[in-house]
A and B are shown apart, each in its own frame.
Chain A
Amino acid sequence: MRDVAFVVPVYNEAEVIGSVIRGVLETCPHVVCVNDGSSDDSADRILEAGGYLVNHPINMGQGAALQTGIEFARLLPGVTRFVTFDADGQHRVEDAVRMLRVLDSTDVDIVLGSRFLGEAIGASRAKRMLLKAAVRFSNLTSGIRLTDAHNGLRVFNRHVADTLRITAPDMTHASEIIELIAHNKYRFVEVAVTIDYSDYSVAKGQPAVNAVNIAVDTLLRKVSR
C-alpha cells in the first residue's frame, strides 16, 4: 500500500508510539508522525520505529498536527489515500484497511470510523453518554447526520487532502472536519470500527470538561461564518 499515508498526531506517547508505528508498517510504509512538542522522547521512538518524523517546534494541538501531517503526506510521491490514526493505540489497522477498501469500492471521498456502529471496548458508561451527547450536538449544528462525531480514524482521498483546511488547532478540529464535510460537499460514509479504551489511553484521553470547550468553539464558528 505505497499509495497510502497514515497521519498520526503524537503528543507525549513515547510509551506506545513505537508499537503503533510498527503495527501500521506491516501494511503501509508511510507513517507520518507529527510530534507536537512532546516533552518525552516520542521523537526518538518515532525515528527508531521507522515513521516519518515531523516536529512541531511548539505544542499546537491535535487539529494543527493533523493539518501539518496531511500537508507533509501530500508531498510524498505517489500517495493518493490518507488515513488519520491515533497514537495512543486505540485504533486498529485492520479497521483502516477495511475503510480503505470502502473508499476504493464506492464513490465516497471520505470514510469515517464509527464506534457506535462498531464497538468501544472498555469505555465507561459516562464516556459513552458524553460521546453520544456530542453526536447529538454535532448533528444539530453541523448540517450532516452521523453516529459518531469525535472519532479520529478517518480515510480520505486526494481531493479531501488537497482541500481540507483545519483551522481549529485543538480537539475542536473533529467538529470542524464534520462542518467542512458538509461545507465542501465531500461524499462520506461511516464504517463500524473498534476503539480500545485501554487503561493507558483512558488515563491519557480527554477529560470530560473539554466537551464545554468543543461546544463553545463550535457555536462561535457558527456565528462567525
Chain B
Amino acid sequence: MILIQVILILAFAAIFLVALRSRSAHSVNAWKKIAFAVLMVVLVIAVLAPSMVGVVAQAIGVGRGTDLVLYLVSVTFAFYVVNQYLHAQEARNQLHQLARRIAIIEAQERYGMERLTVLASTRTTPAPGTTAEQPETLPPHA
C-alpha cells in the first residue's frame, strides 16, 4: 500500500468511528445510515483500486474516473447542504417555539395572569389599562 492510501483509509475509518459513536446517531434516518456505510465502502475500494473507478466511469459513459468522482462528490455535497438546511430550519422552529413559550409565561407572570387566582399584591407591574378588579377566569391556554 502506498502512503496516501494508508492515510485516506485511516481517515475514513476515523470518520466512520466518530459517526458510530455519536450518541444521537439513533435519531438519524436508517436509509441515511445505510447510504453512509455504502459511501465509506465505495471510498475505500476507490482508494485501494483506483482503476476500478475508471472502469465504472467508462461503463456508464463518463469517460474519466476523476470526472465520475467529481460528479458524485458534487451530488453528495448538494444533498448534504439541503439536508443541513432543513435540519437547521427545524431546529430554529423548535427554538422559536420554546422562546415563545418563555416569553408568554414570563409576561403572564408579570401581569398576574396565572390561571390560578393570583393576589393583586403579588403582581409586579399593574396590567396596563386594567383597574383593580381583574376577571379571575382567563381563556384556557392554547
Question: What residues of A have a CB within 8 angstroms of the CB of B99 in the complex?
Answer: 56-58, 60
Flag if B128 contacts A31 (CB, 8 Å): yes
Flag if B96 contacts A55 (CB, 8 Å): no
| Given A47-B125, A50-B129: A77 touches B135 (CB 8 Å cut-off) | yes
B56 interface residue per 8 A CB criterion: no
| Given A29-B130, A52-B107: A75 touches B100 (CB 8 Å cut-off) | no
B8 interface residue per 8 A CB criterion: no
A189 interface residue per 8 A CB criterion: no
- Measured in the bound complex, the distance between the Cα atoms of B129 and A31 in whole Å is 9
Question: What residues of A have a CB within 8 angstroms of the CB of B93 in the complex?
Answer: 167
How close is B90's CB to chain A, nearest CB, in angstroms? 11
Question: What residues of B have a CB within 8 angstroms of the CB of A162 in the complex?
Answer: 142
Query: Which residue from chain B places its CB closest to the CB of A35 in the assembled complex?
Result: B103
Flag if B96 contacts A169 (CB, 8 Å): yes
- Taking residues whose C-beta sits less than 8 angstroms from the other chain, chain B's interface range is 20 to 34
Query: Which residue from chain B places its CB closest to the CB of A57 in the assembled complex?
Result: B99
- Measured in the bound complex, the distance between the Cα atoms of B131 and A2 in whole Å is 12
Query: Which residue from chain B places its CB closest to the CB of A1 in the assembled complex?
Result: B129
A214 interface residue per 8 A CB criterion: no
How close is A75's CB to chain B, nearest CB, in angstroms? 6
Q: Mark B71-110, 1 if CB is under 8 A from A, else 0.
A: 0000000000000000000001101100110111011101
Residue from the list B92, B103, B108, B137 in contact with A34, Cβ < 8 A: B103
| Given A55-B103, A55-B107, A68-B104: A60 touches B129 (CB 8 Å cut-off) | no
How close is A28's CB to chain B, nearest CB, in angstroms? 8
Flag if B96 contacts A57 (CB, 8 Å): no
Query: Which residue from chain B places its CB closest to the CB of A72 in the assembled complex?
Result: B104
Residue from the list A34, A53, A56, A77 in contact with B139, Cβ < 8 A: A77
Question: What residues of B have a CB within 8 angstroms of the CB of A51 in the complex?
Answer: 128
Q: Mark A7-51, 1 if CB is under 8 A from B, else 0.
A: 000000000000000000100111100100000000000010011
- Measured in the bound complex, the distance between the Cα atoms of B140 and A48 in whole Å is 29
Query: Which residue from chain A places its CB closest to the CB of B130 in the assembled complex?
Result: A29
Query: Which residue from chain A places its CB closest to the CB of B128 in the assembled complex?
Result: A50
Contact residues of A between 44 and 97, Cβ < 8 Å to B: 47, 50-58, 60, 64, 67-68, 71-72, 74-78
| Given A74-B139, A75-B141, A77-B139: A29 touches B107 (CB 8 Å cut-off) | no
A-side residues, CB < 8 A to B, are 2, 25, 28-31, 34, 47, 50-58, 60, 64, 67-68, 71-72, 74-78, 162, 167, 169
Pairs A-B, 5 closest by C-beta atoms: A29-B129, A50-B128, A54-B107, A77-B135, A68-B100
Kindly list 12 other residue pairs between chains A and B, CB separation below 8 angstroms, not including A52-B128, A75-B113.
A25-B128, A29-B130, A52-B111, A54-B104, A54-B107, A55-B103, A55-B106, A57-B102, A58-B95, A77-B139, A167-B93, A169-B92
